[in-house]
Structure 1
Amino acid sequence: MRRRTLLAAGLTIPLAALQRLDDALAVPPQPSQPAEPTQIAQQLRAARRQFDTSDLAGLVAALPGLLASAVEAAERADTPAAWALVSAAHGLATDTLNKVGNKPSARLTADRSMLYANRSEDPVAKAASARALGMMLRIQGRPDLAAAVMSRGIDQLTATGVRTTAQADMHLRLLCARAYTHAWGGDESRALEGIAEAEQAAARIPAMAPTAMPFAVLYRANIAYALGDPRTALHAARDLRDGMYPTPERRGRLHTDLARFYWQWGKPEETTAALLTAHRHAPSEVLDRPSIRRIANELVERHPRVAGARHLARAISRPQALPTV
């Protein structure tokens, strides 16, 4: 069963790398040499760049060492900042494992992110771990509990006064994630109230406005999709453009979201165009996310004569250049 779970995830990521990461969560490897928290922070920034550039294969290969080194450094330093780094590393692992479809391991890293965040007593770390854990609870079909976890994170952040950019950014992310969770739970009223609150929060952050508002608007579109209304989703996303999103991963995600909306509406040609655009920005967003890869596979099988279908078929069948692991 474990091998089948790993095979279902990370469709172009070497199975050995996924297996190594899964094993490392059970028995963490010994770091080759001790690292200081400042070095862990640098490694974490590098890992986030891999996520932002959609280098999922490289990130999966790097995570076992990052997680083990972060925990070892925090145990030696035993400072709030060091434990916050451990929590952040596990939060990144959650996002990565969830993206490639390894949900059981993603739930495990989300739990650990919450544990280490509580040890750090850092409000941003606690909020980030609440988002990660809430996301996994939603995916497991427990939207009410997921929303409650996120609400606690929001309340903890609000108690700080939301004075820093990091606090404001995480506050916005949690508001959006909670509204989306309500949508998947079928609570349209709370979902729409929640995303309106998030958009108001985005408008209050002048320094973040260029990225904050497009982030919230795309969530509004996804809420309509979760509620089964692809026309409203596409209408909400009508003014969103690639240049509003600073990283390849976010630009790829914009177009995979548009593809989902078109596919739900029964528009195979538009779905194809969106998937091809996503693949140009960030191939892993199409190739390594099982839900998106499933749409691509079904599309080329059911609609082989749609414009762009041959190109898409070649894109999803062509082996990717992967790092040696």
Structure 2
Amino acid sequence: MSVHAMTAPPSLDLGALMRSRRAARKPKMTQEALATALGYSKSWVCRVEGGQIVPQIETLLHIAAVLDIPPDDLITAAHPLGRDPVQDPQTLGSGVTTAATVTAGDHAKEDAVRRRGFLTGAAGLGAVMVTGSPATATARPPADPAAALEEGLFRPPAVGPVPLGQLDRALHRARMDFRHARYQALGTELPLLLAAADTTRDHLTGHAREQACTLAAYAYSLAGELASKMHSEAVWVAADRALAAGRASGQPAPIGEAARMLSVAMRRAGRHHQAADLLVHTDRQLADDSTEQALAVRAAMLLTCGYTVAHYGDRTAALNMVDEAESIGQRLRYGPGLEQVTIQATREQCASFRLSVFNKLGTPDEAVPVVRRANPNRFPTAERRARFHTDAARMWHQIGNDTRTFAALRAVEHEAPEEARRPSVKALTADLLYSSTNLPGLREFAARTGVHS
């Protein structure tokens, strides 16, 4: 353990602790150097050390990372027992809590360096915490979410271990970004989350390590979902790591979710029979687990498997698997306890998979009643609603109804604009654009979603 990582004297307040750690560094770190490392101004650091500003949790964790202070020590120094800091109305949402008045001009200057907020809302695990890099924390999301994810998978950022509770909340926030189809933000955030999950489990043993492996498995499965959305070959890497972490966790649910993700990678590579075999084998492994989580994962695997076998024309098996998944889903009450499962076997979700199966079987006419009966508002997330409208667009496109195809594509954009920029959706838009049909607004839609005429 380095001298800088030793427990801080409990008598030090926040400013004194920061000053002492700056002085202890070799060479001594100035306020200006600390400000540069944090992405703030020197005057801001002066106010923090002078007791005028008490930063919020994510900023404190950034300071802890830069000065090599145990986070708990710094947080305790900032919020000693009996102190109830009051947040100045001018700084609500800006990342600081003030013990004195901060001018609007000061707020405007400081706000520019705190705009990125991935895991800010996850109560402590932020980009600034795990990297100590203000550039990572403040950078705008890249145009290509897959590029950032691939960079993170193959060249992960250097991070430190974090408490499991914070890791769990960070994963929840990332999952919410996926469900709201915020893929650019997610592509930026996931590398930090994945690196933190890996480092955390490597520093733990026993039951705590198994918990960390579970979180890592779900995080890598989520990375696989994003890679699949973007048609990135990184889906193989993410799915493989998810399965390895799931097996290390000893828990059936993360294993099942990871296996489902790996089957998606296999299916995209044209290995349809192998993908189906993997899902069937994993389903048998979960058959003796009657927990709701295991049942929910089994239902998700059945839906994925049904769509997979439709790729090689097994209509009966495909529809039977969707029916079985719906039967399981009727016995479950989907809620916070089952949020780890990406695909939920609700009535609407199962209808959406029937639509996908009919499309893949080349019988879109059979899917028309499914679309007409479905209520998109009952889908649980923007991502799932957009997926339904995408499959509806494919159905109408196969039938040859360009007007309804375009209406479905516009519904995709309405629900989740970033879904409309996915490669498969852009390909569908391009097909429509280059057809003989002259649909009002189509060229503008194509331009907005990145399809060029």
Question: TM-score category by the smaller chain?
Answer: 0.7 to 0.9
* Mapped partners of 1:310, 1:22: distance in 2: 32
2:253 to 116, 119, 124: 124
Deviations 1:147-168 (A, max 9, x none): 111112211222112x32x223
Q: Which amino acid aligns with 1:237?
A: V
Aligned positions of 1:178-257 closer than 5 A? 178-205=305-332, 212-257=346-391
Give the distance between the partners of 2:148 and 2:299, measured in 1 at CA.
Answer: 34
Structure of larger gyration radius: 2
Structure 2: distance between partners of 1:270 and 1:207:
32
* CA offsets 1:186-221 (integer angstroms, 9 cap, x no match): 21221122222222222333667x971111111111
Specify which structure has the bigger relative contact order, considering alpha-carbon pairs within 8 angstroms and separated by 6 or more residues.
1
Distance 1:29 1:198, change over 3 A: same
Write the distance in 1 (CA, Å) between the matches of 2:436 and 2:351: 31
* Partners of 2:373 and 2:166 in 1: CA distance: 41
Partner of 2:210: 80
> Are 1:271 and 2:405 an aligned pair?
yes
C-alpha displacement of 1:314: 4.4
Match of 1:172 among 268, 283, 299: 299
Q: CA deviation digits over 1:129-150, x for unaligned, max 9?
A: 1110111111111111111111
Q: 1-side partners of 2:438 and 2:379: how far apart? A: 32
- SS of the residue corresponding to residue 70 of structure 1 reads helix
- TM-score, normalised by the number of residues in structure 2: 0.63
The change in CA–CA distance for 1:233 and 1:267 in structure 2 (over 3 A counts) is same
User: Partner residue of 1:23?
Assistant: 151
Q: Using the alignment, how far apart are the partners of 1:13 and 1:239 within structure 2?
A: 38
Q: Which amino acid aligns with 2:325?
A: A
Contact residue 382 and residue 416 of structure 2 kept, 8 A: yes
Q: Per-residue CA shift, 1:249-290, capped at 9, x if unaligned?
A: 111111111001111211111000000011011011111x21
Alignment RMSD, CA only? 2.1
Give the 5 Å matches for 1:77-156: 77-78=204-205, 79-102=209-232, 104-156=233-285
Work out which of the residue numbers 294, 301, 321 in structure 1 matches 2:434: 301
SS at match of 2:157: coil
CA deviation after TM superposition for structure 1 residue 298, in Å: 2.1
Shift of 1:48: 0.6
CA contact (8 A) 1:147 1:178 kept: yes
Larger CA deviation: 302-311 vs 292-301: 302-311
Give the 3-state SS of the residue equivalent to 2:162 in structure 1: coil
1:290 to 399, 404, 423: 423
Q: 1:310 to 1:18 in 2, by over 3 A?
A: closer
Q: Is the 8 A contact 2:142 2:148 kept in 1?
A: no
Secondary structure of the 1:238 match is helix
Q: Specify the alignment match of 1:6 in structure 2.
A: none
Equivalent pair of 1:300/1:312 in contact (CA under 8 Å): no
Aligned length: 301
On the 8 A contact 2:296/2:328 being kept in 1, the answer is no
Specify the alignment match of 1:3 in structure 2: none
Which has the higher mean CA deviation after the structures are superposed, 250-259 or 88-97?
250-259
Alignment pair present for 1:53 and 2:180: yes
Aligned to 2:329, the other structure's residue is in SS state helix
How far is 1:99 from its partner? 0.2
Q: Matched residues in 2 for 1:309 and 1:265: separation?
A: 19
Distance in 2 of aligned mates of 1:290 and 1:90: 21
Closer/same/farther in 2, CA of residues 155 and 72 from structure 1, 3 Å limit: same
Q: How far 1:113 sits from its partner (Å)?
A: 0.6
Determine the C-alpha separation between the residues in 1 that align with 2:409 and 2:248. 41
SS across alignment from 2:260 = helix
Is residue 260 of structure 1 aligned with residue 260 of structure 2? no
**SS of aligned partner of 2:449:** helix
In the TM superposition, what is the alpha-carbon distance from 1:318 to its structure 2 partner? Answer: 9.4
Q: Partners of 2:446 and 2:307 in 1: how far apart?
A: 31
**CA, structure 1 residues 255+301, in 2 after alignment: closer, same or farther (shift >3 Å)?**
same
Q: Secondary structure at the residue paired with 1:77?
A: coil
Query: Residues of 2 paired with 1:88 and 1:205: CA distance?
Result: 20
Q: Deviations over 1:40-98 (max 9, x none)?
A: 11111110111011110000000111110000001112321110111111000000011
Query: What one-letter code is carried by the residue in structure 2 that aligns with 1:255?
Result: H
Task: Provide the C-alpha distance between the structure 1 equivalents of 2:451 and 2:399, rounded to a whole number of angstroms.
Answer: 28
Structure 1 runs not aligned, ≥5 long: 1-11, 320-325
Identity of aligned residues (%): 28
Query: Distance between the aligned counterparts of 2:237 and 2:282, measured in 1?
Result: 19
- The structure carrying a bigger helix percent of its residues is 1
Whether contact under 8 Å (2:426, 2:451) holds in the other structure is no
